[in-house]
Structure 1
């Protein structure tokens, strides 16, 4: 009995050892699979990280290229302003004789801008901000969506007039488009106008149309849905007022632009009439496929004689 018992115990122990060995093998397989999966996931994560870094670098470089492009274009309009050299005669009286190098002044040159891009129709700037760009007008509203004034691809694109504005900003009602860039370039600065204090610090735009230079004053701003509706700011039938009925419609439309303003603009208090030249700035607001639009309405003020 003792030998049989020992044999049985040995057999049972052998079976248990085999079972344990199988379990160890299974665990080793699981660990191996886990390590493979972990290494694969790590590889995927590294790839995703590298792609994100690459994408961010591409966006950053794209922003830099656009900024440099527009800065170089703006710089070409700086000219030296001679400073009178003062001298005294024998009696000690002050006289002027010749000139010495003075400061530089930004002087608009429509002809030079037109030579660079025949679609150029003007320039817009908001003093004290980085908004300082040429205005283009293409054959449609896609041409300069992601194309700079020099014809290169860029996320920032260009500031452009709606192709339906046939009078190149000399009509009663015109629209300009520009991207709301994350770095504040193009029309990115407009989002700051949601704060009334910022708007009051920057109430006047300088707009060059052809050879002329005008001051444009902010009088209303608000957010709208991306699609066009009957009361949307994307109206083109008022560029030319060729009937009394259209004048009445336009008068009501102008009043609606005032009523919709997110706050009462205090920096321009004159009455807006159908005789005014209105320039509407449109840019994205928010994110997503159906992101809304921010609208800033400007009214033409005085012409500046440079």
Structure 2
């Protein structure tokens, strides 16, 4: 029994090591953050899109949160389940439990929607989107307010404004809205429900676009931590129809939730 437990722990440890090695290798090829990223003009931050797309044509972006392990490529397909158990290089199975950071299938692949949704696992070694759950600590939240979203169309610098701890069946995965009033109400609701206190949140009318990072809480109640950020600066020309549309498919969201629950346990 003890031997079996030790073997199982060894397999898990190797799986985590192998997964992080893969993404470190991809980062070396695709994106090395500037030493002084805060002092670097947003337009001067570059990603080797040709190298990334040669590895995976589903590549649509890169996400980086300074001083965390979040430094990953973003993929996008019409199937929200594809990258739950498939890594960036397309490997499936027990060696690919990291999955990949992916943009919701309901979103446009160019990040032009009002609310863009990224999913990532909450890995026990602190990788992927595990840091999101750690932002319940006020100091951690305050020290990691800036997110860089880099895309072939241009770059975004975002500021976090809310952290939600919610249930798996909470239908908050809305990508677009019928009108501006509905969009503002959606954002204000997240501010009101935030478990993180933020003093410098601008009026929702000043938030042109938002980004949502969703991960499991790895608790028996099967909840979700969802981090919200607004676009503070962008080199991308604004889309005229960003506020039009509807919501993410409940069936698709359920599929993501169920698969994430299995992997996080």
- TM category, shorter: 0.7 to 0.9
Matches of 2:165 and 2:186, distance apart in 1: 16
Unaligned runs of 5+ in 2: 35-43, 237-265
Please report how far the alpha carbon of residue 196 of structure 1 lies from its aligned counterpart in structure 2 after TM superposition: 1.3
**Cα distance, 1:163–1:69 mapped onto 2, change above 3 Å:** same
Matches of 2:57 and 2:110, distance apart in 1: 13
Give every structure 1 segment of 4 or more consecutive aligned residues whose post-TM-superposition deviation is greater than 6 Å. Answer: none
SS in 1 for 2:87: coil
**Cα distance, 1:294–1:110 mapped onto 2, change above 3 Å:** same
| Per-residue Cα deviation, 1:4-62 (whole angstroms, up to 9, x for no partner) | xxxxxxxxxxxxxxxxxxxxxxxxxxxxxxxxxxxxxxxxxxxx222222221111111
| Per-residue Cα deviation, 1:215-247 (whole angstroms, up to 9, x for no partner) | 11100001011013xxx3211342xx5xxxx32
**Cα distance, 1:60–1:269 mapped onto 2, change above 3 Å:** same
Q: Residue in 2 aligned with 1:50?
A: 3
Q: Residue in 1 aligned with 2:146?
A: 204
Q: Residue in 1 aligned with 2:76?
A: 137
- 2:4 aligned with 1:62, yes or no? no
Of the three residues 210, 215, 223, the one matched with 1:283 is 215
Of the three residues 294, 297, 301, the one matched with 2:225 is 294
**Cα distance, 1:169–1:211 mapped onto 2, change above 3 Å:** closer
Q: Given the two structures, how large is their TM-score scaled by the length of structure 1?
A: 0.68
Please report how far the alpha carbon of residue 265 of structure 1 lies from its aligned counterpart in structure 2 after TM superposition: 1.3
Q: Residue in 2 aligned with 1:76?
A: 29
SS in 2 for 1:194: coil
Matches of 2:196 and 2:211, distance apart in 1: 19
Q: Residue in 1 aligned with 2:189?
A: 256
Aligned runs of 1:7-26 on 2, under 5 Å? none
Matches of 2:63 and 2:31, distance apart in 1: 16
- 2:48 aligned with 1:109, yes or no? yes
Aligned runs of 1:103-182 on 2, under 5 Å? 107-153=46-92, 154-182=96-124
Q: Given the two structures, how large is their TM-score scaled by the length of structure 2?
A: 0.78
Please report how far the alpha carbon of residue 77 of structure 1 lies from its aligned counterpart in structure 2 after TM superposition: 3.6
SS in 1 for 2:232: strand
Q: Which has the higher contact order (CA 8 A, sep 6+)?
A: 2
**Cα distance, 1:182–1:269 mapped onto 2, change above 3 Å:** same
Matches of 2:143 and 2:176, distance apart in 1: 33
Q: CA RMSD in A?
A: 2.2
Matched-pair contact (CA < 8 Å) for 2:156–2:233: yes
